[in-house]
Structure 1
């Protein structure tokens, strides 16, 4: 018995689309490779900067030198870019996993001696059996960025020292403080009485 599925799986892990090319699905393999190349070339710089911004929330505040305002890091924008980067990484990881399972499934078909579908047959099968997923995918991605991103931002901002008028970007940087703010809510008598009477 041949082991196409194992080789295709390993190749798919190494680089998207290699498993499909090994399984003689050239159109699908080229599409997956194009997705990974585009991600590496165009999205990786944004994602790496976004993750840096999410962790540090900036290093240089806005300042004034010789009567001119020099721009610095904007902690809130960096947090939003960081959340977007994490969401983009999750979308890319989902595509990568889909690539792996597709190569493995087609490799198993080859192991059993079944013919491999070309790109036209794959699109027809996707249209017939996966039409709901195909239609809902763009809506799901928009939902991720238009609904989930603001919710995550709202939760994360609670763990920073963002407060006016002293800690408002871009004049000042915002820092991660964790649960310190929540503990202060229960330590201050006025606020404690608000919650517990």
Structure 2
């Protein structure tokens, strides 16, 4: 996983060399079939992520108070106390839809990368374009958070609201990553043996 981008990689050793070997030994048609089979490796995980996104919409997060938690840093530093907000879920008024979840579902895909510096199979979510400005935002990453803040829609005073997100990314990956890795291994072995 590179950075904080919502993606998963299956590290197949020397994928670039394997693809070149398939092309030399079996020909370009077998290479095309292998790449197509490798792109279908993440279909089960993506289906699970789309199912999570199709669930009920989360409510509005309203801050009800604060609590103090003890935080132990991963790097071995001394533990410390931190104040965090406590939120209560309230039903949101749904007067309009921006089709954010639909665009996130549409932008989930599996890529086969075989460059000189990187190679592997990735499941990633592309950035979603804004309907008003046309700019692309990483709403796939924002929507995956438990809560996030944004300016209140239609509010000219500049108020910000906290909203629940919908963590959809990691559960399907944990559930289907072993099966996907096995499918990738099988597709590579079949292509090397001329069965792909």
**Which has the larger Rg?**
1
TM norm. shorter chain > 0.5: no
Q: Greater helix percent: which structure?
A: 1
Which structure exhibits the higher relative contact order, with contacts defined as CA atoms closer than 8 Å and separated by 6 or more residues?
A: 2
Q: TM-score, normalised by structure 1?
A: 0.30
